[in-house]
Amino acid sequence: MSVALEVRVSAARMLTPAVREFTLQSCTGPLPGFSPGSHVQVHLPLTEGKVRNAYSLTSDPADNRHYRIAVRLQEASRGGSHYLHRHVQVGDTLQISPPANLFALHSTAGLHILIAGGIGITPFMAYIAALEQSQAPFELHYVYRSGLSDAYVEELQQRLGSRLHTYACRPDLNHILRDRPLGSHVYTCGPQPLLDAVRQQARALGWPPGRVHWETFSAAKPGQPFDLELLRSGRRLRVGGEQSLLEALESAGLQIPNLCRGGVCGQCMTRHVGGKIEHRDSFLSPAEQAEFLMPCVSRGCGPCVSLDL
Partner 1 sequence: MTDRHCAAPDRLHSLPCYRQPLPRESATRHIVVMQSAAACSPIVGTLEQPLVLNGENADFARRLHQVLVNATVGSHLYIMGDEAFIWRIHGEARSAGLENDEIDITRTLAGSRRVYCVHCGLTQAAGPQPLLNCIGCDVGLEVREHFSQRLGAYLGVCSNPDRPYSGVRP
Distance CA 63, CA 264 (A): 28
Q: Which is nearer to partner 1, 53 or 201 (CB)?
A: 201
Q: Which is nearer to partner 1, 63 or 196 (CB)?
A: 196
Residue of 220, 218, 231 whose CA lies nearest to 299: 220
Residues making contact with partner 1 (CB under 8 A)? 110, 177-184, 203, 205-208, 210-211
Quote the least distance from Cβ 128 to partner 1, whole Å. 22
CB atoms within 10 A of CB 200: 11
Q: Contact 42/69 with Cβ under 8 angstroms?
A: yes
Quote the least distance from Cβ 149 to partner 1, whole Å. 29
Q: Which is nearer to partner 1, 207 or 283 (CB)?
A: 207
114 Cβ contact partners less than 8 Å away, ≥ 6 residues apart: 124, 127, 128, 138, 139, 140, 141, 186, 187, 188
Q: Which is nearer to partner 1, 135 or 158 (CB)?
A: 135
Q: Which is nearer to partner 1, 82 or 180 (CB)?
A: 180
Quote the least distance from Cβ 6 to partner 1, whole Å. 42
3-state DSSP call for residue 174?
helix
DSSP assignment string, 72-138:
E--TTSSSHHHHHHHT--TT-EEEEPPPEESS---TT-SEEEEEEEGGGGHHHHHHHHHHHHHT--E
Quote the least distance from Cβ 177 to partner 1, whole Å. 8
Quote the least distance from Cβ 116 to partner 1, whole Å. 20
Quote the least distance from Cβ 110 to partner 1, whole Å. 5
233 Cβ contact partners less than 8 Å away, ≥ 6 residues apart: 309
Q: Which is nearer to partner 1, 91 or 210 (CB)?
A: 210
